Amino acid sequence: MNGAIGALHSRRRVRQVRAHTPAGPGTSARAAEPITNSDDARLHEVRLRRLAAVYVPVFCAGAWLSLRHGVGVRPGGDPARDLPFRGTAFAPPLFLPVALLGAAALSPRRDAVGTCATAVAGLVGLAFTAGTTLNLGNDITATRAAGAPVNLTVGIAAFHWAFGPTLTVFSFLALRQRRRAR
C-alpha cells in the first residue's frame, strides 16, 4: 500500500515539476527547479486564501437569509443584534469570517505573524465545525420559530461540516510544511 501512495506522490510531483518547466528558449532556469517544502507550504497557503474567498459569498448569503427571515441565534432573537458576536441559525458570528479573511491575507508571510495567521485559520475551521455541531438543535428551533425553512439550516450546517475540517486540514498541512522548511 505504501508503494502505491509513494507512486501517487511522485506522479503528482512530476506533474508539478512539468508545470514549472521552461516552455522554450529564453525562459528562466528557476522554473525547472523541483518544488521544495517551502513551495509546498505556499501551495497550502494559496488553498487557504482560496477557501477564505469562497466562504465570503456563503457568509453573505447566510446573513441575508437571517435578516430576510428574521432568524436569530435563539427563538425570538434579533438577527441584527445576534449576527456580530453570537451568529444566527444561518450564519456564524461576523468576527469568525473577518478573522478568517485576515488570517488568509497574512498567512503567506514567512515570519511568526504568518505562522500565527495560519493557525488562526485552522482555529476558525474548528469553530465552524464545533459551532455548527453543538448549536444545530437550537438553530433548528430558532428557524422553526421564525417560520423559515428548516432545510436551509441543515444545508448550511452540512456546508460547515465539510468546510470547517477542510480549512483545518489545509491549515495544519501549511503549518507542518512551514516547520519542515525551517
pLDDT in tens, 77-136: 999 999 999 999 999 999 999 999 999 999 988 889 999 999 999 999 999 999 998 999
Q: Are 21 and 75 found together in one domain?
A: no
- Mean pLDDT, to the nearest integer, of 144-154? 95
Q: Are 63 and 10 found together in one domain?
A: no
Domain with 25, as residue range(s), is 1-35
- Can you give the pLDDT at residue 110? 85
Got the DSSP string for 59-104? HHHHHHHHHHHT--SSTT--HHHHTTTT--SSS--THHHHHHHHHH
Q: Are 16 and 58 found together in one domain?
A: no
As for how many domains the chain has, the answer is 2
Q: Are 114 and 65 found together in one domain?
A: yes
Q: Are 48 and 99 found together in one domain?
A: yes
Cell, residue 82: 445576534
Q: What is the pLDDT of residues 30-48, one digit of tens each?
A: 443 444 555 665 787 788 8
